[in-house]
Amino acid sequence: MNTPEMQQLKMAWLAAKADGNTGEQMRLLHEYPGEREELIDFIAAYHASGGASAIKQDIPVIAMTQRARQRALDRVFGEAAAVATLTELRKQRKMTKVAAAQGLRLSVDVWNKFEAGAIELTSLTQRQLERLANFFQVSIDQFGNLLQQSQPEIALNRRQTRQGAQSEQQGLQKQSFEQAVARSSMPPAEQAYWLGK
């Protein structure tokens, strides 16, 4: 349970860790026996996720590791970390693709590119990221992480082999947000809204 008291305890532990104060870290564990188990889970997740060191985002992670990581994040941070892709975020908000696209003032084809991970995160301006993140009520960092983790779903039709579907997925070309908007069916007013022209 991620109560305000537990959040303060986690923040105090992180501050002690940053200061290198192991005595304070141990004191927090001993003085809060009711929260000890949850704090230990938090500490384990902290170290499992790399702690204070930067994690390379471009390293492919196998599905089992992603599920384990997600379960650990869910236990520590609650439901806010319960999604791993933009598709899951949209579904958690109980929205269709059309509703998400309309709410964002995007065309469905552009939103599909977001969900497929075809939009380059680095092509988005701070303002664009703020609009996208605010719509879904997540932080800019969360939205960026979800975009980077989004990949097209493999869908097979009766005449297509799994290998053919995977090669189509691998052939997905990333593009800038500006290119996606310019090539879309969005009206000029909506394009101007997103591109500032």
pLDDT tens per residue, range 58-82: 555 566 676 677 667 666 655 545 6
What is the pLDDT averaged over residues 43-70? 69
pLDDT at 111: 93
pLDDT class of 168 with cuts at 50, 70, 90: very low
Q: Which residue has the higher pLDDT, 124 or 49?
A: 124
Give residue-wise pLDDT tens across range 82-140.
678 888 888 888 889 999 999 999 999 999 999 998 999 899 999 999 999 889 888 88
pLDDT at site 169? 46
Residue 9 confidence (pLDDT): 86
Cα-based angle 115, 142, 118 (whole degrees, multiple of 5) = 25
Q: Which of 27-36, 133-142, 143-152, 173-182 has the lowest mean pLDDT?
A: 143-152
**Reported pTM:** 0.52
Q: Is the pLDDT of residue 157 over 60?
A: no
